[in-house]
Structure 1
Amino acid sequence: MAGFFLLGLLMGVLMVGSVISAKFDELFQSNWALDHITYEGEVLKLKLDNYSGAGFQSKSKYLFGKVSIQIKLVEGDSAGTVTAFYMSSDGPNHNEFDFEFLGNTTGEPYLVQTNIYVNGGGNREQRMNLWFDPTTDFHTYSLLWNQHQVVFIIDETPIRVHSNMEHKGIPFPKDQAMGVYSSIWNADDWATQGGRVKTDWTHAPFVATYRGFEIDACECPVTMAATEKCSSNGDKRYWWDEPTLSELSLHQSHQLLWVRANHMVYDYCSDTARFPATPEECLHHRH
């Protein structure tokens, strides 16, 4: 087992490339409730109370690469709250990749919900319980994105892959530059046990803590021809175009299968009540 995790660490280093770590205000800015954000040294905190949540966004937009943030989630009874880390483009036909951490009552596993929007259409939710307590220490949450796949990663373990299947006539998000965002808000109409458990404001403020802001991606103003600018054409800076990153390695595929087998609690591809006809990408997806 030790060898398994050592190999995973080595593969993770290969997957990261040349990471650029920066202070929060070099990459990000507040976009919601500045008075509910504190920044001390290398640590930033977002606060939710019964007046407001809070959020921040990247100063630039990007097309392809890898973004990572270390987060320590809300401790104790966090039922009704959602802490989100995501990438999104603008407009009604936007693309979006979501991590949403769903609050719970004390002692229950934390659930992470992922979702993918392509050309404004979402409804691709998956939910997993985490195999660690995300409230006691920082863990690294990452999105790797290139022309071949979108990979959701926790501590260098892939938990979800969305592959480019344009050859099957299925749209893939590859031509809209995206910002990087995070926020905390009250969602007790749906977040915990389908909205049956409401936010207990006697536990407020609810605090999510951040550090380790890393973006190694192609910075791309929305006005530019994004795909052309951010394709490598042999430029080694664009490491995400390397053929080895066009799909998961064998080890990463095994990691993904382990996560899905042991921790997945909901997959839209299997929800016949919502989707009597299986979504087309589910028919072709290998994961």
Structure 2
Amino acid sequence: MAASATKQSLLLLASLLVLIGITTGSFYDSFDITWGAGRANIFESGQLLTCTLDKISGSGFQSKKEYLFGKIDMKIKLVAGNSAGTVTAYYLSSKGEKWDEIDFEFLGNVTGQPYVLHTNVFTGGKGDREMQFYLWFDPTADFHTYTVLWNPLNIIFLVDGIPIRVFKNNEANGVAYPKNQPMKIYSSLWEADDWATQGGRVKIDWTNAPFSASYKSFNDVDCCSRTSIWNWVTCNANSNSWMWTTLNSNQLGQMKWVQDDFMIYNYCTDFKRFPQGLPTECNHN
């Protein structure tokens, strides 16, 4: 009797582990390492991916799938110590001259100074919609979840489930919105000391190389995706409530807190940059 109960417990545990594996996904199944000559690697049976940067090269990877709307999570731990001059990019992008793109970029800094989280949205090859933030935690000490929720109504950028920015669909006011071009997920760690840290004034210190960023717990369960350009983009019919999600009053309060206390640049308040008037969407948030 005891042996039977033990066997049942072990089978249940095995089933739970399988479910956990399905939920978190495997980097082997979800991504291709695309450049870096061995500087990006997958570990822990597909559950951890690292990108490194040295004086010779950075590294990067991209998703096997393309997405047209989705709620996509990735846990990232950024380059520790003196990361000045490094950029860890994590974004969705289509191809072609009139590409669409949704950006998280993490701009490194000297030891003790905060990372800058740089966000942007491109439609039809046009960006210039930068918002930048400091984070309310040390993003190098542990993994934190960075989420893009992209649906026909809005694009929501979230950090650990807290919304930091929304780009609404303002097509009714003549603003282009990304809704027709499927995008892949890309990430890379690369050198950008000509502009990344304090406008390029602080250069990369190669004595700290190799630099490393880590990724885990990728989740694209809630998405519309395809594995080939020859397929239609399909959605998960059982979990598509995200398709019409907008921020509720509590989330709007959270976003106000982030933007009041941690936002360091907003293109929608940069009158010097737009002397002829702010972009249309800035007046329809």
TM over 0.5: yes
1:31–1:282 CA distance, 2 compared to 1 (3 A): same
Say whether residues 1:241 and 2:247 are aligned partners: no
Aligned residues: percent identity? 48
From 225, 228, 251, give the equivalent of 1:219. Answer: 225
Q: Which runs of 5+ in 2 are unaligned?
A: 1-21
From 134, 138, 150, give the equivalent of 2:155. Answer: 150
Distance in 1 (CA, whole Å) between partners of 2:281 and 2:208 is: 41
Q: Is the 8 A contact 2:39 2:59 kept in 1?
A: yes
Distance in 1 (CA, whole Å) between partners of 2:54 and 2:271 is: 37
Q: Is the 8 A contact 1:95 1:118 kept in 2?
A: yes
Distance in 2 (CA, whole Å) between partners of 1:75 and 1:89 is: 30
- 1:116 counterpart residue number: 121
- 1:11 counterpart residue number: none
Q: Is the 8 A contact 2:173 2:280 kept in 1?
A: no
Q: What does 1:1-287 correspond to in 2, within 5 Å? A: 20-41=23-44, 42-216=47-221, 217-220=223-226, 221-223=228-230, 235-242=237-244, 245=245, 247-276=246-275, 277-285=277-285
Q: Which has the larger radius of gyration?
A: 2
Query: Which amino acid in 2 is paired with 1:21?
Result: T
**TM-score under structure 2 normalisation?**
0.87
Superposed displacement of residue 219, structure 1:
1.1
How many residues of Structure 1 are paired with residues of Structure 2 in the alignment?
A: 259
Q: Is the 8 A contact 1:166 1:172 kept in 2?
A: yes
Q: Secondary structure at the match of 2:32?
A: strand
Distance in 2 (CA, whole Å) between partners of 1:65 and 1:30 is: 22
Distance in 1 (CA, whole Å) between partners of 2:132 and 2:174 is: 26
**TM-score under structure 1 normalisation?**
0.87
Q: Which runs of 5+ in 1 are unaligned?
A: 1-18
Superposed displacement of residue 239, structure 1:
2.7
Query: Which amino acid in 2 is paired with 1:90?
Result: K
Distance in 1 (CA, whole Å) between partners of 2:66 and 2:174 is: 27
Superposed displacement of residue 170, structure 1:
1.1
Superposed displacement of residue 225, structure 1:
6.2
Q: Is the 8 A contact 2:87 2:108 kept in 1?
A: yes
Q: Is the 8 A contact 2:85 2:193 kept in 1?
A: yes
Distance in 2 (CA, whole Å) between partners of 1:40 and 1:190 is: 32
Q: Secondary structure at the match of 1:50?
A: coil
Runs of 4+ in 1 over 6 A off after TM superposition: none
1:212–1:34 CA distance, 2 compared to 1 (3 A): farther
Distance in 1 (CA, whole Å) between partners of 2:130 and 2:100 is: 14
1:34–1:239 CA distance, 2 compared to 1 (3 A): farther
